[in-house]
Chain A
Amino acid sequence: MSKPKVAFYWCASCGGCEEAVVDLAEDVLAVVDAVDIAFWPVALDFKVSDVEALADGELAASFVNGAIRTSEQREMAELLRRKSAVVVAFGACAWLGGIPGLANLSSSESILELVYGGSPSTPDGDGVRPHEESDVPEGRLRLPHFDETVRTLDQVIDVDYYLPGCPPPVDLIRSAVAALVEGRLPEKGTVLAPDVALCAECPRAQTKPADLKVTEFRRPHEVVADPETCLLAQGLVCLGPATRSGCGAPCIAANMPCTGCMGPTSRVIDFGAKALSAIASLVAPKEEASVAEVLDRLVDPVGTFYRYSLPASLLHRRVERETAGSRGGGEG
């Protein structure tokens, strides 16, 4: 009997998810024992044509990490969807958009403008920008199209399961692969992680005051946090109350507040809004002016609450103020 075939692929991501697979350490041998890896560009020399040569649905599963920003990523996601029985969105970027999703605060034009023109490390120069097609003596070169918006994997293809985290914790990867091999897969659409908030498994939960109120928010570099006490109680913006557990709280163990990479629990639609709600209601003062004073210390609310989930949010991206003539199609 032949072993089930699986594929790993990356889109708009940093490589940390691939690293997480390597972090399986010797357990990766058990994975290789149980499945045939048919495609894994970061580690093995298979080509896209090898995937194209497979029958539709021949791959038992594809693990796709990273958000979707370019036409190439879209095409690869669609190809792997066609060839796979199961597609797993692997990691925060594939599930919610992740860090690359913060690019949705800017237009694609302003990003290209900065990268190829205005950034301090770009020498003043010819203002040359990459073209999707350029003719050279050897023929025509093509680059992928750079989309206006970063999207989550399930905004592009149908996704069966989600592995949360930045990157997904090794334990969750291990149990997901085991479930797949043993055919014990849960209902489609399930996030393969516990469905309670991080505070439930936080080692500092006992020190969280019953009526927690914050009079001054602090940033991690401004304070030497007590290593035993609830970080929220120390004024650090810890997103534990709004974030899914299952990571084992490594950030808390390192005395750093949770930034929400595990995403929301299943009862939440918009992670950022819910995280904002959790943090705002901790503000101690009750009058408008003094509430504002406390909130002034919360710099960059979007980057704090939507750090991993802007493309998956209800708004998806920053609203571009229209200038005369820029209207037209694209009515939502």
Chain B
Amino acid sequence: MSEPAREGAFEPRIVAFFCNWCTYTAADLAGISRMQYAPNVRVIRLMCSGRLDPQFVLAAFREGADGVLIGGCHPGDCHYQEGNVNALRRVELLRRMLGDLGIEEGRLRLEWISAAEGDKVQRVCNEMTEQVRALGPLRLAPGPVPVLQTEGREAR
């Protein structure tokens, strides 16, 4: 086997979607508190985990992510009341569908992390990095990345 490319060791790429009010703030706290954790996680801030379109997860996998982590407020704490519940519903169904498409359960993770839980960001990022490292790289069949048909046109 010739993989992976760099220096022989596989470094997982994990895309994280963190909600603005809880998990992203917690990640900030982890940073300010100088908590060290795996550098494999690239964070994208959403206003709410309920903004997570399942297309984002698939696009991340298509563009080379080996795992996707979603962080939102604890149930009952959502800044928009129930956005995180919608995230839960979608991620649960998406995980089932991805399983049938050959993508292991461990590559998609939803966690509730409050703004005070910097240590949980640290733990979850480390855990997930090791979990995905064990799973190995996600190798999708090559193919074109679909684009919006309205590309370059005004969407309406």
* Number of chain B residues close to chain A: CB under 8 A: 43
Inter-subunit contact A267/B103 (CB<8 Å): no
Tell me, in angstroms, the Cα distance from A298 to B97 when the chains sit together: 10
Inter-subunit contact A316/B140 (CB<8 Å): yes
Inter-subunit contact B90/A281 (CB<8 Å): yes
| A residues near B105, Cβ cutoff 8 Å | none
Within 8 A of A (CB), among B105-156: 138-150, 153, 155-156
Inter-subunit contact B155/A324 (CB<8 Å): no
Assess whether A321 is interfacial by the CB under 8 Å rule: yes
Inter-subunit contact B86/A301 (CB<8 Å): no
Q: Which of A57-65, A176-184, A307-315 contacts B (4 or more CB under 8 A)?
A: A307-315
Q: Is the interface of A mostly helix, strand, loop or mixed?
A: loop
Assess whether B75 is interfacial by the CB under 8 Å rule: yes
Inter-subunit contact A277/B54 (CB<8 Å): yes
Q: Is the interface of B mostly helix, strand, loop or mixed?
A: loop
Q: Which of A47-55, A250-258, A284-292 contacts B (4 or more CB under 8 A)?
A: A284-292
> Given A276-B90, A319-B141, A322-B139, A312–B150 Cβ distance below 8 Å?
no
Tell me, in angstroms, the Cα distance from A174 to B143 when the chains sit together: 33
| A residues near B59, Cβ cutoff 8 Å | 269-270, 314
Q: What is the minimal beta-carbon distance from A299 to any residue of chain B, in angstroms?
A: 10
Assess whether B33 is interfacial by the CB under 8 Å rule: no
Inter-subunit contact A267/B155 (CB<8 Å): yes
Inter-subunit contact A324/B1 (CB<8 Å): yes
Tell me, in angstroms, the Cα distance from A317 to B141 when the chains sit together: 7
Give the bracket for the number of chain A residues in contact with chain B.
35 or more
Inter-subunit contact B146/A313 (CB<8 Å): yes
Inter-subunit contact B54/A273 (CB<8 Å): yes
Q: Which of B92, B96, B103, B146 is packed against the most chain A CB atoms within 10 Å? A: B146
Inter-subunit contact A280/B146 (CB<8 Å): no
Assess whether A109 is interfacial by the CB under 8 Å rule: no
Within 8 A of B (CB), among A4-63: none
Nearest B residue to A286, CB-CB: B85
Chain A residues close to B by CB (< 8 Å): 105, 149, 155, 187, 189-191, 195, 266-270, 272-274, 276-277, 279-281, 283, 286-288, 291-292, 295, 298, 300-302, 305, 312-322, 324-325, 327-328, 330-332
Q: Assuming A283-B89, A318-B100, A327-B1, what are 7 further A-B pairs, CB within 8 angstroms?
A: A266-B150, A268-B148, A270-B55, A292-B92, A319-B138, A319-B141, A325-B1
